[in-house]
A and B are shown apart, each in its own frame.
Chain A
Amino acid sequence: DVKVTQSSRYLVKRTGEKVFLECVQDMDHENMFWYRQDPGLGLRLIYFSYDVKMKEKGDIPEGYSVSREKKERFSLILESASTNQTSMYLCASSFSKLAGGFADTQYFGPGTRLTVL
């Protein structure tokens, strides 16, 4: 079974702190994703990566950065945490495109509930 793990289930930080959220997958997937999920807004894509050292902005990248130094690991960084970044953060991974070139099934981690005070 595919396993996606996230470094913390719950995290409490203070405004202005630098925050690192780590995600590791064990299935040699090319693609990795970071989402945040808020009530009424659904899943929103922050950043994604389709290869080591490659990254692309999603729909809401402001205030975030990412790092992918190894294929299995994708980190989300909040350079200076703010209260409006309090949210559930979900990491996901997938193989590269299916034959025919379309989005593949995504496998999600358990999520990190981040609270910024």
Chain B
Amino acid sequence: SQKIEQNSEALNIQEGKTATLTCNYTNYSPAYLQWYRQDPGRGPVFLLLIRENEKEKRKERLKVTFDTTLKQSLFHITASQPADSATYLCALENYGGSQGNLIFGKGTKLSVKP
């Protein structure tokens, strides 16, 4: 079955630096991969989706890359701010499951210090 891993449980960085979060998966390569943000006590919120034929995708200070050879996605936040502090989840299709079924990583908790 598909497995998804986010290498770091927690990442601490200084304000203004670039945060880089990693998502690795095993087995099959998905057609696309999604990133979500979750604040404490709240539900996840969708941020970005990148397709397998897209090497890179950007949205404001966010950048996502997708390397199907390495079976890895990187999520970057440039010029990070304390307000970026949250848990970030990656997700992809639970292949073999019924339609619409995503599998989520356990998340990386990002703390941006002023």
Contact = CB atoms under 8 A, between A and B. Distances in A.
Contacts of B34: 105
Contacts of B114: none
B46 A48 contact: no
Nearest to A58: B101
Contacts, number: 69
Interface residues of A, number: 34
Nearest to A32: B100
Interface in A29-86: 30-31, 33, 40-43, 45, 48, 50, 56, 58
Interface residues of B, number: 25
Given A41-B106, A42-B105, A111-B41, A103 B46 contact: no
Which 6 pairs from chain A and chain B are nearest by CB? Answer: A108-B43, A42-B106, A31-B100, A103-B93, A43-B104, A102-B31
12 contacts: A40-B106, A42-B106, A45-B101, A50-B99, A58-B101, A90-B43, A94-B100, A101-B99, A102-B31, A105-B49, A106-B100, A106-B102
Interface of B: 30-32, 34, 41-46, 49, 89, 91-94, 98-102, 104-107
